[in-house]
Structure 1
Amino acid sequence: MAITGKPLGATAGATTFAKGGNAVDAACAMLGAVCTMWDVLSWGGETQALIYNPNTGKVIAINAMGYAPTGATPEFFREKDMNYPPEFGPLAATTPGTPGGLMTMLAEYGTMSLAEVLAPAMEMAKGYPIEAQAANSIEAQKRRIKEWPYSKKVFLPHLGEEREAPYPGEVFVQEDLYQTLFKLVETEKQALADGKSRKEAIYAAYERFYKGDIAKEIVRGTREQGGLFTEQDLANWKVKIEEPLSINYKGIDVYKLQEWTQGPALLQSLNILENFDLKSMGYNSANYINTVYQAMSLAFSDRDFYYGDPDFGPKSPMKGLLSKAYAKERAKLITENNDPKIGPGDPYPFQGESNPFINLLKSRNDVLAYDRPELPIQGLDDPFLEHFLKGTTTIQAADEEGWVVSITPSGGWIPAVIAGNTGVGLSQRMQSFVLDEKLNPFNVLEPNKRPRVTLTPSMALKDGKPFLSFAVQGGDTQDQDLLQMFLNIVEFDMTVQEAAEAANIHSYQMQSSFGAHEIKPGSITLNTEVPSWVRNNLKKRGYKMDFQNRTSGPLNAIWFDWKHGTFWGGSSNHGEDYGIAW
C-alpha cells in the first residue's frame, strides 16, 4: 500500500512495489517524486519518519531535520529588527535534510538501489505536466520569486508575459535538479563498479551531496543570495536514527518522534484524555469538543514552553511531561467553560526535580504574541490561518513482509529560494525558532541546533503488532487532526476511511510555529455540519467559532486488519492525497 499527497507520487510508490521493492523503497520513491513536484516541499527541506521493522518488532525514528547555519544567532536577527527568523528567503533556511534522510532510510532499511528509487523523480525532473495547484501557487508568489535569481530561472519560464509561471498542464522542466539527482546516481554506480556494497554505494552518494561538488554549489548559491551556510555546516550535519517516544493508551502503544517535533503533544493529550469517558460523551458533542479542546490546550502550552532539540541544553523534562501522574493533575484543570489563560504546567516534580525556569513561566505572557479579537478568525484567507496551516505532505507505506513507514516531509515550499544551479529549494524552517528564552528556553536559536518543528508522523502498535500508521499535513493543526483520527477509530469504532473524513475541530489556543507566532485563545474552527445546539452550547462556554466545509485535514493512514490479514487505507477528501494498494 502506497499513499501520499498526490496521485503521481502514489504511482511512484506503487511502481516501486511492482518492481519488487519493500515499503521503505516505495516510501523513498514517493518522497523523491513529491519533492520534485513541489508538493508543498522541495529537495532542500526536511524529512521525519517512523519505521516499523518486522525483523526486530521495534519502531525506529528518523531525524533528517536540518539545523541552523553558522552565524545564525538571536543577536544576528535582532540587529535586523526581527522578533523571529524570517518566513522566507535565504535567512529562513536550515541545512537540507531530505536528501540525507532518503538515502539513510534506503541504505539502512531498503532493498533497492538509489537509481531505482530516484527513477520516477528523475523522469519528472526532465519534464512532467505540472498540476494547477503548484502552477497557480508559483504565479501567485512570483513577486517574491523574482527576488532570487535561481528561483526565477526555474519557476518563471514565461518571464515578461502576463502569466510568468507555467500554465497548468504545461510540461515543467527542472534540468538543474535532474543534473543533481543524476550526480547522486552516477556516484552510486561508480561505487558499485568499484566493488562497494549497495549500502556503501548509497552512502557514497550521500557524501557527494553533503561534502562534494553538490554541497559546494549549494553553499555558493545560498551565500550569493544572502544566506549563511558554510561548507562545514553541510559536512558536519548528520541524519540521526533515534528511539521514538511512546505512551500506552488503553492497551495501544502510540509512537511519536522526540521533542524536537511537536509529536509528544499528542502523547500528552492522550494521557490527559484517558481520565475521561469520551465515548459516553458522544462524537463531537459539546462536552466532547470542550474536553478535547482543553486537553489540547494543556498539552500544546507545554509544547510551546518545554520542547526543543534534545542535543542542546537545557534538557526538556520529557519524563515528567509524559507521566500519567502529571497528566492526571493537568486533567483536573479542564472545566465546563474554556479557560483562555491555560498555560504551561510544571512537570519537574513528576520526575523528582525542581523547575529551573519557574520565573520564566511567570513572565512568559508578557512576550507572547497574543491577539484577542472580538470576532473569530475569518476563514482560509485569514493571514493568521495561512501561517498556522503551513503546508507539508505525508507518506504512508506498508508491505507483506511487515515493514511500515510513516513520513511527514516538508520545507522548501513555494516560494522557495533555490540554491544556485542545483535545482534544490531551501527550507523555511528557521522561523520555528524563538529568539527570547521567555517564550521557550529549550528552543532558542543557536548554530547547528534543530528548530522545534510541527512535523509529526505517527504510528501505533497493539499486542506488539502494527495497529495504525498515520500522518497529516497542516502546520500546528497536525497533532490536533491526528489525535482526533486516533480517537475516532479507538473510541468511536470508525473505519480508517471514515476517520480520515470525519469532522475535526481546530484550536488556535496555542502559539503558532510560523510567522509572528500568534496565539488566539478561545478560537475554534468547526465543521459547517455541526448542529446549532452544539454551536450555542460552545458559545456559552466562551468559544469564538468559525466554520469550514472540510475540517479533517489531509489525513492519510493505514489500519492493520490482523483478523483477515489485510491493510485498510484511508485518505481524506480534504485535498489531492491519494493511495494505491495491491
Structure 2
Amino acid sequence: MKKLSLLLASLGIAGSLMAQQTQKPMLYGNSWMAITGKPMAATAGSMIFQQGGNAVDAVCAMLAATCTMWDTLSWGGETQALIYNPKTKQVIAINAMGVAPTGATVEFFKSKGYNFPPEYGPLAATTPGTPGGLIYMLSKYGTMSLAQVLAPSIHMAEGYAIEAQAVNAMERGKELIKTWPYSKKVFLPHLGEKREAPEGGEIFRQQDLFNTLTKMVEAEKEALKQGKSREDALMAAYDRFYKGDIAREFVRGSKEQGGLITMDDLAKWKPVEEAALSTNYKGIEVYKLQQWTQGPMLLQALNILENFDLKGMGYNSPKYIHTVYQAMNLAFADRDFYYGDPAMTPQEPMKGLLSKAYAKQRASLIQFNQNDSKIGPGDPYPFEGKKNPYLKLLKSRGFEMDTSKRNFAPKHDLGNNSLKEDYQDRLWRGTTSIEAADKEGWIVSVTPSGGWLPACIAGNTGVGMSQRMQSFVLDASLNPFNVVAPGKRPRVTLSPSLFLKDGKPYVSAAVQGGDTQDQNLLQFFLNMAEFDMPVQKATEAANFNTNQLWLSLGGTKISDREPKPGQILLNNNTPEQTRNELKKMGYILSFSERTSGPINAIYFDWKHGSFWGGSSNHGEDYGIGW
C-alpha cells in the first residue's frame, strides 16, 4: 500500500507538472534562435542574425556582450564550445581554456601556504582564452568580420544601462576590488560615497575596454586594407591581443599586481579544435567536451543509468532520486580522481571510463536501500586492457578497489555535513551559457566563464583576469591528472551539451552553476528523453543536487572542498512522503525554491521545421527567436 501511494504521488507530481503553465513562455522560431544569460546579450545575437550572420557569428556577438556586461565572466576568462556543422554532420569541440602561466608550480603555491591556488586576484589567473576562442570560431565557422560581431559590445563599452545584478555584485565585493587599482577605477566610480558601485540603470562606461576592443578591430581593418584574407585579418586582431600592445599592457598590469603571466605565455597559447566525446543513451547520441572539463561525467552517469527503468520509477519519485543521485556520485568520484588536461601526461583512462561494461560494473554497486557514503573512484584500466598505475595512491587515500571489502573510510572523502551558504556559493559559482541555431543547420552551445566579479583587471586593458587556477590541485592524491604545472589546463566545470537523435540534432543545452552543471543537464535531458517534457518545462522542472563530490571552486582548505556524503538539495515542493523515504535511506535534506542554475536549451522540431527555445526561470537568462 505504501509503495502504491508513493507511486501515485510521483505520478501525480509528473502529471501536474506536465499540466502546469510554464513560468516563461516557450520561444519559437524557424529562421534562428539566440539564448544567453542576459536579455541585452541575446539582443546582440539577434542583431547579428538580422544582418545575415549565422549561428557562429551570433554566438561570437553574444559572447562579447556577456563579457562586456560582466555576466559572471570577463574578456580575460575562458571559452569552449560544441558546434554542429551541417555541412559535415559532425560535432566539433572548441577548447579555448587558458593555461597555467610560467612559475605556477606546486612548490610556488605551497610556499605561500596554499592548499589550492587562490580564488581571486592575479595568482588565480590562467592565460585569457575568450578572445582567442571567439576569433578562432569566427574565422573557421563564421561568416562576418570581427568589426561586425564586436559592434554591439564596443557600443556597450562606451556606455550602457547596467543591470542591478552586476552592480550589486560590485558593491558586495568592493573591499576586495579596492585592493586592485585598475578594478577600482572601473567598478567603483563613486568612491567615498555610501554606495561606491554604480546603481542599477546607471550608464556604465568602460573606456579602457572600449580602447582594447577598438584596437583589435583596427588591426583587422588594417590587414584587410593591405589585401589580406578574412582569416588573416582576424589573426591580425588575435596577434594584437596575444602578442602586441594589448598583450604588453595586460602582462605589465598583471605583474604590477603580483601576477605570473608573461608575454611568452600569451604568445605560446592557442585555442584547440578537438574531437568531442560521446555516448549513446537509448538511441540518442550525447556529445560533451573532453576530460579537461567535467563533461564526460554526464556520459558516465548516462551509461550507468541506462541499466535501470527510470521512466517506470516515476519522475522525482524516491527511487528515481536515489538512483540518479547514486549514479551521479559514482561518476563524480571518477571525475574527481581521473579527469585532467589530455594534452599533458599522464593520459587519462577515458576509453575505460566511458565503456558500457565499466558502467555496468559501477551500476552494480548501487545499494537500493541506502545512500552509499563511501563511493570512491573505480578502476577503469582493465576495461582498456591496462593495469591501473594509481592503485597504491588510491589505497593511500583510503580507497579499497576490491568491492567485496567496502568497509573503508576514505581519508579525504568523508567531509562534515554542515550546509553553509558559502559552500553552496562555491558549488554554483560562475559561468553563463549561450545557445544559438540557424536555418542552415549551424548549432552552437557554449558555457563561457572566468573573470567574474570581484575581478582583478589587468592594467589599462579593461580586461578582467580569469580565476580558473583554483580548479587545479596541489596534492596528487586528490587527482594525479590535475596537478598544477605551467602550460597545463585545469580540469574545469564548464560543460555545454549537444544531443542527436536519428542522425539529426535533437537538443542543444547548457547551464551555469559550477559543479552542478552536469547534474542539472543530466536531469534536464532525462526530463525530455524519459518523461517527454517539452523543452521549456524541462528547463523549469524541479531538480536535485548532490554535494557528495569534491568542489572544483573556492575555499582555501581541504575541508572547504571535501564531499558532504548524503547531502541532497531538494525543491521546496518535494512531497512529505518523498522526504521521509529519503531520510530513511540516510540522506541529509535541505530545500530551496531554486534547485538548478538557469538552463538554456534549443529543441529541434523536425516534423514542423522549427526551433523551440527553453530558458528556465532561475536567472536573467532569456532569448529571441525568429
TM-score by length of 2: 0.91
Please show how residues 375-386 of structure 1 align to structure 2 within 5 Å.
Answer: 377=419, 382-386=421-425
For 2:516, the aligned partner's letter is: T
Of 545, 557, 560 in structure 1, the residue corresponding to residue 604 of structure 2 is 560
Q: Is the 8 A contact 2:349 2:381 kept in 1?
A: yes
Q: What's the CA shift for 1:518?
A: 2.6
Of 390, 402, 409 in structure 2, the residue corresponding to residue 357 of structure 1 is 390
CA–CA distance in structure 2, aligned partners of residues 42 and 81 of structure 1: 28
Of 46, 55, 59 in structure 2, the residue corresponding to residue 27 of structure 1 is 59
CA–CA distance in structure 2, aligned partners of residues 464 and 280 of structure 1: 27
Of 527, 530, 533 in structure 1, the residue corresponding to residue 574 of structure 2 is 530
| Corresponding position: 1:179 with 2:211 | yes
Matching residue of 1:102: 134
Q: What's the CA shift for 1:370?
A: 4.3
| Corresponding position: 1:439 with 2:478 | yes
Q: What's the CA shift for 1:160?
A: 1.1
Deviations 1:309-336 (A, max 9, x none): 0111110000000000000000001112
For 1:526, the aligned partner's letter is: L
Q: Is the 8 A contact 1:367 1:439 kept in 2?
A: no
Of 334, 338, 345 in structure 1, the residue corresponding to residue 371 of structure 2 is 338
Matching residue of 1:541: 585
**SS state at 2:273 partner:** strand
| Corresponding position: 1:387 with 2:429 | no
Matching residue of 2:13: none
Q: How many residues are paired up?
A: 577
Matching residue of 2:293: 261
CA–CA distance in structure 2, aligned partners of residues 479 and 515 of structure 1: 18
Matching residue of 2:505: 466
Where does structure 1 lack aligned partners over 5 or more consecutive residues? none
Q: What's the CA shift for 1:462?
A: 1.1
| Corresponding position: 1:14 with 2:53 | no
| Corresponding position: 1:300 with 2:332 | yes
CA–CA distance in structure 2, aligned partners of residues 104 and 364 of structure 1: 41
CA–CA distance in structure 1, aligned partners of residues 512 and 468 of structure 2: 15
**SS state at 2:236 partner:** helix
Q: Is the 8 A contact 1:125 1:178 kept in 2?
A: yes
**SS state at 1:519 partner:** coil
Question: Following TM superposition, where does structure 1 have runs of at least 4 consecutive aligned residues deviating by more than 4 angstroms?
Answer: none
Matching residue of 2:278: 246
Matching residue of 2:441: 402
Q: Is the 8 A contact 2:516 2:596 kept in 1?
A: no
For 1:362, the aligned partner's letter is: K
For 2:329, the aligned partner's letter is: S
Matching residue of 1:219: 251
**SS state at 2:211 partner:** helix
For 1:553, the aligned partner's letter is: G
Q: What's the CA shift for 1:16?
A: 0.6
CA–CA distance in structure 1, aligned partners of residues 397 and 145 of structure 2: 50
Matching residue of 2:620: 576
CA–CA distance in structure 2, aligned partners of residues 236 and 291 of structure 1: 45
Q: Is the 8 A contact 1:44 1:426 kept in 2?
A: yes
**SS state at 2:231 partner:** helix
For 2:617, the aligned partner's letter is: N
CA–CA distance in structure 2, aligned partners of residues 341 and 568 of structure 1: 42
Please show how residues 66-105 of structure 1 align to structure 2 within 5 Å.
Answer: 66-105=98-137
CA–CA distance in structure 2, aligned partners of residues 132 and 552 of structure 1: 21
For 2:544, the aligned partner's letter is: I
CA–CA distance in structure 1, aligned partners of residues 87 and 607 of structure 2: 21
Deviations 1:250-280 (A, max 9, x none): 1111000000000000000000000000000
Matching residue of 2:322: 290
Where does structure 2 lack aligned partners over 5 or more consecutive residues? 1-32, 399-409, 556-560
Matching residue of 2:23: none
Q: Is the 8 A contact 1:305 1:442 kept in 2?
A: yes
**SS state at 1:455 partner:** coil
For 1:524, the aligned partner's letter is: I
Q: What's the CA shift for 1:145?
A: 0.2
Q: What's the CA shift for 1:343?
A: 0.5
Deviations 1:284-305 (A, max 9, x none): 0000000000000000000000
For 2:543, the aligned partner's letter is: N
Q: Is the 8 A contact 1:46 1:66 kept in 2?
A: yes
Q: What's the CA shift for 1:196?
A: 1.0
Q: What's the CA shift for 1:54?
A: 0.2
Please show how residues 499-538 of structure 1 align to structure 2 within 5 Å.
Answer: 499-516=538-555, 517-538=561-582
**SS state at 2:590 partner:** strand
| Corresponding position: 1:45 with 2:77 | yes
Q: Is the 8 A contact 2:164 2:201 kept in 1?
A: yes
Q: What's the CA shift for 1:197?
A: 1.3
**SS state at 2:75 partner:** coil
**SS state at 1:248 partner:** strand
Please show how residues 91-170 of structure 1 align to structure 2 within 5 Å.
Answer: 91-170=123-202
| Corresponding position: 1:453 with 2:492 | yes
For 2:71, the aligned partner's letter is: D
CA–CA distance in structure 2, aligned partners of residues 28 and 195 of structure 1: 24
Of 262, 272, 275 in structure 1, the residue corresponding to residue 304 of structure 2 is 272
For 1:384, the aligned partner's letter is: Y
| Corresponding position: 1:3 with 2:35 | yes
Q: What's the CA shift for 1:368?
A: 2.5
**SS state at 1:567 partner:** strand
Q: Is the 8 A contact 1:367 1:438 kept in 2?
A: no
Q: Is the 8 A contact 2:86 2:440 kept in 1?
A: yes
Matching residue of 1:347: 380
Q: What's the CA shift for 1:190?
A: 0.5
**SS state at 1:255 partner:** strand
Deviations 1:153-198 (A, max 9, x none): 1110001111110111110000000000000000000111111111
**SS state at 2:252 partner:** helix
Deviations 1:16-64 (A, max 9, x none): 1000000000000000000000000000000010000000000000000
- Aligned in 2, Cα 1:435/1:331: closer, same or farther, shift over 3 Å? same
CA–CA distance in structure 1, aligned partners of residues 97 and 394 of structure 2: 28
Q: Is the 8 A contact 2:496 2:510 kept in 1?
A: yes
Matching residue of 1:494: 533
CA–CA distance in structure 1, aligned partners of residues 553 and 490 of structure 2: 12
Q: Is the 8 A contact 2:428 2:597 kept in 1?
A: no
TM-score by length of 1: 0.98
